[in-house]
Amino acid sequence: MTTDIKKYDFKAGLPQEFEIVDIGELFQNLKDTLTTTHRTGFYHIIWFQKGNPTHLVDFNPIKIKPQTLLFLNKDIVHRYDNTTKFEAKAIVFTDNFFCKTEADTKFLRNNILFNDLFYVSQIQIVKHTKLFADLLQQMADELQNIKDKSQADILKNLLHNFLLHSEREKRKQNFIEIKKDADLDYIMLFKDLLEINYKSQKQVNYYAKEIIITEKRLNQATSKVLGKSPKEIIDDRIMLEAKRILAHTTESVKEICYYLGFEEPTNFIKYFRKHTQTTPVEFREQFRLA
């Protein structure tokens, strides 16, 4: 099955897989694309400078204030506000651009901005707009230079600094810090494996074996940090994708069932109803009436 949730990969032909875009300028040509639910295979840092739009991330409407930075992980499903005037710029980049070393990969995977286990990350930068504006301008200036051997490293270092300053601000703004210990390591490994395998592997023992721990140990980690069992987290991921496809495509329940790895449509319907108290068709109808 190919879902109708449009997925956009990074624009081909640029010197780097890194770009700074003015959302207002994009709206002139791509408003329908931006205000329709879509996925992108790259990271976003959206700087909402003026206005109070509502940015929809999956099924969570995020009310934005001026001078807000919003951090969106790759492959997240989102859309821009179609009714409220606002001004914004976005920094977009890929793993290929940022992750040159194992340390880079670890930084991005463990970054509290793109991997907040409880919320979509946003920070207010009213008191520090000049700091962030200067870093953004330095990146924009570097992009105007002809590509050479140094450009990628200069841009990555500037972006790294932007993220570090953002992390500092995030920790000052009601952030729930999770202790970096074995529990968190196991959860991040579980999360990465789940994202790859949730359609085909729905049993906790598969993930525990891949992480090389017992099911009991994995349960201790997720229960302590997230207040959920591994099975609940697996179910949450499957249900999120089911709701995404039902809400934003016209795929049949049968097609969705097989796409998500269920053997029979009746099994999927029972599973969906167990977790939402509605059938897939009822959920689709309710979403479209909302």
Residues, the chain: 290
47 part of a folded domain: yes
How far is 34 from 26, CA to CA, in rounded Å? Answer: 8
Q: Are strands 38-40 and 6-8 parallel, antiparallel or unpaired?
A: parallel
Rounded to 5 degrees, φ, ψ at 94 are: -115, 170
**Is the per-residue pLDDT at 153 higher than 90?**
yes
CATH number for the domain including 282? 1.10.10.60
Domain final residue, candidates 140, 172, 204:
172
Note whether residue 1 is domain-resident: no
Asked which of 120, 151, 172 is the last residue of a domain, the reply is: 172
Q: How many domains does the chain have?
A: 2
164 with 257, same domain: the answer is no
Q: Is 251 left (phi over 0), alpha (psi -120 to 50) or beta?
A: beta
The CA distance from 110 to 102, in Å, is 12
Output the CA angle 267-272-277, nearest 5 degrees: 125
DSSP class of 212: T
CA–CA separation, 76 vs 93, rounded Å?
14
First to last CA, the chain: 27
| Each residue's pLDDT tens digit, 221-276 | 999 999 999 999 999 999 999 999 999 899 999 999 999 999 999 999 999 999 99
Q: What pLDDT, on a 0 to 100 scale, did the predictor assign at position 289? A: 66
- pLDDT tens for 106-142 read 898 888 899 877 788 999 999 999 999 999 999 999 9
Asked whether residue 152 falls in the same domain as residue 12, the answer is yes
pTM for the full predicted model: 0.88
- Among 172, 196, 227, where does a domain finish? 172
